[in-house]
Chain A
Amino acid sequence: MRRFFARNAPAYVFLLPWLIGFFLLALGPILASLYLSFTRYDMVSAPRWIGWGNYEYMFTRDRRFWKALEVTFTYVALAVPARLIMALGVAMLLDKGLRTIGLYRAIFYLPSLLGASIAIAILWRQLFAADGVVNQVLAMVGIQGASWITDPDTSLYTLVVLAMWQFGSPMLIFLAGLRGIPRDLYEAAEIDGTPGWRQFTRITLPLLAPVIFFNLVLQTIDSFKTFSSAFIISNGTGAPADSLLFYTVYLFNEAFKFFRMGYASALAWFLLVIIATFTAIAFFTSKYWVHYENERD
């Protein structure tokens, strides 16, 4: 016990602000929402216990719930790989050892800082509007653009593109990972005459696996929780025709527009289950494809 303290005390001191915040500010509401998910609560009259009623409604009668799942899963399936590939690509370009690399890193990271903001979502809406910049550029090269945002067939893809553009933070992590790969491996491959593509698949990817895994988990969690961009671009409703009805947007509407706080809490807990499941799958499968360099096996 004493040794434990001696070894870990500094860590806990640094964790203290977060721990205090968690126990004082987050834990209460989290438990309250678990309770509320079993009630009918309109935020004015007292919550009324209805057992599994909310969950039952969710799975058996709520068509929009399934629609929200469909939209969110489609988005996660497209946005996470797109963003990771983009991030890895840019990281590899920056890994070439440019002298101004610090500057480039900052520039490429910038969209991620802005990405979650309201302003970018509004900008995105303007860019992809029927008479927006994207269509004007397309018109210049003779292509008739679509109305990207207002057409339910394309609206989700504009958000995937937005997600791709916010590759900054996984890119930085990839970059750090790439820096950690011993250079002599590439030199040896070079001498053996291994082509670039094989160097990438045989050296870079395997050695980068732990970092890819880390990014994959974080980005998946992040994408499931996508809210502000979808909320702004769809005017808060999931429009057009529910094609942007992200799970969180639906949850927000149920809670704050239609006063079904109990139902919204149930939705939130189910989202937690989904995210936990995906994270668990990633962890359980990781032993088959992620190898740590200092592992002795």
Chain B
Amino acid sequence: MTKLTRRALLGTMGAAAAASALPTMPAFAADRSIRHYWWGNPERDKRTFAVIDTFQKKNAGIKVSGETIGWGDYWTKMATQTAGRNMADLVQMDYRFLFEYVNRGALKPLDEFAGKSLMIADFDKGPLDGGRVDGKLYALNIGSNSQVMVHNTRAFQEAGIDADLINWTWDDFAKVCEKITSKSGGKMKGSDDLSLMIETFESWVRQNGREFYGPDGKVTATVGDVTGWWQMWADLRKAGVVRDKNKTVILDPPIAESGVAVGDTAMSHYWSNQLVGIQAVSKDKIGAAMVPHKAGGKPGQFIKPSMFLSLSRDAKDTEAAIAYMNAWVNDPEITGILGLERGIPCSPKVRAALAPKLTEVEKLSVDYFTAIQSKVGPLPLPAPKGAGEVRDAFMRIGTDVVLGKVEVAKAAGTFIEDAQAIIERAQ
């Protein structure tokens, strides 16, 4: 569904007027054009449009039009464009959705360009392989991230917390929550309540020695995993050391409303590339801690590609699209503009070039990344079709648990049952 906007209309009229006024002018610019579509935020959009300008300056003859929208509506628009065979040439892709789009045949593999027009030979192999499905590279990593417990360093100092924030356990976490809450007289709680965060729960399952989804895409997390998770948070709620339940059940709130940003709590859960964004909306200096470990358990956290660039099935001028893609991950000027906003780049050269110019919070994210390298587990397989819906079910059923309307064990059983049914139906 294309909507004719006023701007588009004026643009067309303007172009038509220009065309009729200058009939003899040779067509020199915009001979070739590509479209780039991404989900963003104001900061990301600013940087991306600057990249587009730079690329166009260096490549006269290729016109890039950028299309951006927030995460919430991104996939809806993408689905419609995919159905209408009108996808942008280059689309930003997410690890959770990659499998789904490849399976639908909406993306083209990049292997034939590698080493010719797409120079990726010296990239870190692990992060790069995150974009492979069935052995073929369908998505180019444009940044890696991992989970992070963002915390308020002032509150931690005032409460005299000396825990090792990389190696700590859930017991340590509970103690920290208590200390912070009692130190502030209950004004600042220890942490956001992560009951509804399936991303953190997935780490919890891995700490128990399982993946959430098995190799065949079936749900392998157990009722026991879910019960353990929801019970732990129920206990913390009862102790009054985590955020108010009515705030917890607001789903996917913007960064600025997280506990740390508002000052309600001393810890929130985020992705490491968001550190820059959270610092921007927080009064106090933030720090980065790992998701707590299970005492004697397996590593739960992992490093994943935060975003990809993918070539869509509808791309016509693939040569221009690949040239743009290549500049994105290699051109020093362009990678300089992008910085770490989309995550840690997987080109060692680019990282080395960025190192001397990092801001304080960017340095925090690089240091954090280095510190966790040996503490994380392997990257799980891409989520199967239906994973997005399972996430919704987790939040939906979890809401009843958080509000105390359903028993934990019963809700856990319902969730696993629902999750299995969703995955089965989606195949």
Contacts and interface: CB of A to CB of B under 8 A. Distances in A.
B353 interface: no
Nearest to B386: A258
Given A43-B82, A150-B249, A239-B251, A256 B403 contact: no
B395 interface: yes
Contacts of A236: 72
B389 A241 contact: no
Contacts of B119: none
A242 interface: yes
A152 B398 CA distance: 12
B400 interface: yes
Interface stretch (B39-47, B52-60, B73-81, B165-173): B73-81
B82 A257 contact: no
Q: Could you say which of A42, A43, A240 has the most chain B C-beta atoms within 10 Å of its C-beta?
A: A240
Interface in A220-266: 235-242, 256-259, 261
Contact of B80 (A239, A240, A256): A256
User: Chain B binding site: helix, strand, loop or mixed by DSSP?
Assistant: helix
Interface string B383-398: 0001011001001110
A185 to B, nearest CB: 53
A43 B396 contact: no
Contacts of A237: 251, 392, 395-396
Interface string B215-253: 000000000000000000000000000001011011110
A45 B246 contact: no
A272 B80 CA distance: 24
Give the dominant DSSP class at A's interface. loop
B133 interface: no
Interface residues of A, number: 22
A259 B206 CA distance: 29
A238 B105 CA distance: 31
Interface residues of B, number: 29
Given A147-B246, A235-B251, A256-B80, A241 B105 contact: no
B79 A43 contact: yes
Given A44-B104, A130-B246, A240-B249, A152 B83 contact: no
A95 interface: no
B372 interface: no
A190 interface: no
Contacts of A150: 246, 249-250
Contacts of B403: 151-152, 240-241
Contacts of A261: 83
Nearest to A61: B421
Contacts of B106: 44
Contacts of A147: 246
A66 B264 CA distance: 38
Interface in A254-284: 256-259, 261
A135 to B, nearest CB: 11
B405 interface: yes
A37 B75 CA distance: 23
A257 B75 contact: yes
Contacts of B396: 237-239, 241-242
Contacts of A242: 396
Interface string A143-159: 00001001110000000
A241 B80 CA distance: 27
A37 to B, nearest CB: 16
Nearest to A67: B396
A256 B76 contact: yes
Interface of A: 42-45, 130, 147, 150-152, 235-242, 256-259, 261
25 contacts: A42-B104, A44-B82, A44-B83, A44-B105, A45-B104, A130-B247, A147-B246, A150-B250, A151-B246, A151-B403, A152-B400, A152-B403, A237-B251, A237-B396, A239-B251, A240-B249, A240-B403, A241-B249, A241-B405, A256-B80, A257-B76, A257-B389, A258-B386, A258-B388, A261-B83
For the complex of A and B, the 8 pairs showing the least CB-CB separation, nearest first, are: A43-B83, A147-B246, A44-B104, A241-B399, A256-B76, A130-B246, A150-B246, A150-B249
Interface of B: 72, 75-76, 79-80, 82-83, 104-106, 244, 246-247, 249-252, 386, 388-389, 392, 395-397, 399-400, 403, 405, 426
